[in-house]
Amino acid sequence: MNPIGMAAASNPLPGASLSLAPTVEFVRPDLPAPAPERKVKYYRSASQIPNLPPEVAQQIEAVAQRYVFRANSYYLDLIDWNDPADPIRQLVIPRREELNDWGALDASNEASNYVVKGVQHKYRDTALVLVNSVCGAYCRYCFRKRLFMNDNDETIHDLSAAYEYIGQHTEITDVLLTGGDPLIMSTGKLRVILERFAAMPHVKTIRIGSKMPAFNPFRVTDDADLQALLREITSGPRAVYVMAHFDHPRELTPEAREGIACLIENGVRVVNQCPVIRGINDDADVLAELFTEMSLLGAPQYYLFQCRPTAGNQAYDIPITEGYQLFQQAQRKVSGLNRRARFSMSHASGKIEVVGLDAEHLYLRYHRARHPQDEGRVMVCRRDDSAHWFDDLVEVR
Ligand code: SF4
């Protein structure tokens, strides 16, 4: 399968003539029947979406002019089109409210983390490399939607400067490949990147942030070259993690489950992380089922994120206290093994975990901090049920 998941059409060889002679098929009863070819078709315009009434498509085209639309046939097939509130629909189909004037394009000020083009180095031991600016579909609540805009040049195609910087900074033990979605790249390109980082003795862990197991699991299950690459890298001293992004148990189709299993069989460790999003997973039962199922699949939930106040996200965002209460309720519904997630805000100053709530206060702690003096610092803030982000809170001690 090619990088965007579409099988190439098979063309007859030039000069080949058609034979009208009857063909004889030889069936080997000792071999399993070949798996049917699994094609995924990509859509870049709302008007191309089957099942969407033209007048609705027209309305959302205006939204897609500002925040680009992309989806594929596999993922769109998960939508119950009779349900306007369907969570998969909310995740990929644009809504007019995205045009509301709210939030900032770079809500966590990632711009301040760049050390060379395409490389963010915010925490001492971890570097982010933005390897591309395309995903299998575009989540409407994406905090990096700025990358998909025409004038953005934060990602890199030539990684020379990234190899040089990370090679020289031996304090970096973890490299996170992100974007965009690294798994939408061709396996050949991915091979070059993984081999370069795996050859650096100080890099112990390579993480791949990807929603492809949810958006198009065939990218994993149907690419023997990718599987071989993952086996090669993970048979060495480096750990490879896929930081998967499943938002709702409905995404856990048999194919997606097969994709997760395939990654694990090929030596990859898988964890899941997602934001809590209005209309998608703002339900304790849904979150509990997601945590449990992911854990059973060997891909436990690592973070549940507070949605960043990114431009276009007003309709998807929920206040911090509501998000934390949903998280707590979900945690209470699952066994200890499935309670490994943290509820966290990816703020410009660090990963801030929400650790408690009472009638008057919200208790926070830096899980990761940009400045070493903040590492592990506990903060007590005045409870404000309308606050959406750390900046909205007032610290009282
Ligand atoms: S997969 Fe991640 S980067 Fe891609 S659109 Fe969704 S949230 Fe954004």
Per domain, the residue ranges of the chain are: 42-99, 110-392
Provide the pLDDT for residue 14.
33
When mean pLDDT is compared across 32-41, 79-88, 225-234, the lowest value belongs to 32-41
Provide the pLDDT for residue 152.
85
Nearest CA to ligand 1 atom 8: 142
Number of H helices, E strands in the chain: 11, 14
Chain centre distance of CA 147? 14
**Residue the block writes with tokens 């004889």:** 24
Q: Distance from the CA of 135 to the center of ligand 1, in angstroms?
A: 6
Nearest CA to ligand 1 atom 7: 142
CB atoms within 10 A of CB 23: 5
The answer, as to whether pTM is greater than 0.95, is no
pLDDT in tens, 194-223: 999 999 999 999 999 999 999 999 999 999
Helix (H) or strand (E) holding 60: helix 54-66
Provide the pLDDT for residue 360.
98
Return the ligand 1 atom nearest residue 211 CA: 1
- Quick check: 153 pLDDT over 90? no
Q: Distance from the CA of 272 to the center of ligand 1, in angstroms?
A: 13
Dist. CA 7–CA 273, nearest whole Å: 30
- Quick check: 252 pLDDT over 50? yes
| Burial grade of 337 (CB within 10 A; 0-12, 13-18, 19 or more) | exposed
Return the ligand 1 atom nearest residue 148 CA: 5
Return the ligand 1 atom nearest residue 181 CA: 4
Provide the pLDDT for residue 90.
97
State the average pLDDT over residues 384-397. 96
pLDDT in tens, 45-58: 988 998 888 888 99
State the average pLDDT over residues 119-131. 97
The answer to whether 63 and 314 are in contact (CB under 8 A) is no
Q: Which of 92, 144, 185 to probe ligand 1 with, by most ligand atoms within 8 A of CB?
A: 144
The answer to whether 274 and 305 are in contact (CB under 8 A) is yes
Residue 12 pLDDT class (50, 70, 90 cuts): very low
Return the ligand 1 atom nearest residue 209 CA: 2
Residue 17 pLDDT class (50, 70, 90 cuts): very low
239-244, strands of its sheet edge to edge = 114-116, 119-123, 126-130, 174-178, 205-210, 239-244, 269-276, 301-306, 342-347, 350-357, 361-369, 378-382
> In the chain, what percentage of residues exceed pLDDT 90?
85
When mean pLDDT is compared across 19-28, 109-118, 179-188, 302-311, the lowest value belongs to 19-28
Residue 24 pLDDT class (50, 70, 90 cuts): very low
Class of domain 110-392 as given by CATH: alpha beta
Provide the pLDDT for residue 261.
98
Q: Which residues line ligand 1 (CB under 6 A)?
A: 135, 138-139, 142, 144, 181, 211, 245
pLDDT in tens, 267-313: 999 999 999 999 999 999 999 999 999 999 999 999 999 999 999 99
Q: Distance from the CA of 136 to the center of ligand 1, in angstroms?
A: 8
- Quick check: 4 pLDDT over 70? no
Provide the pLDDT for residue 329.
98
Nearest CA to ligand 1 atom 2: 142
> In the chain, what percentage of residues exceed pLDDT 70?
91
Return the ligand 1 atom nearest residue 178 CA: 3
Average pLDDT, the chain: 91
Q: Distance from the CA of 139 to the center of ligand 1, in angstroms?
A: 5
- Quick check: 151 pLDDT over 90? no
Dist. CA 286–CA 280, nearest whole Å: 9
Provide the pLDDT for residue 50.
85
Q: What are phi and psi of 325, to 5 degrees?
A: -65, -40
Q: Distance from the CA of 214 to the center of ligand 1, in angstroms?
A: 11
- Quick check: 8 pLDDT over 70? no
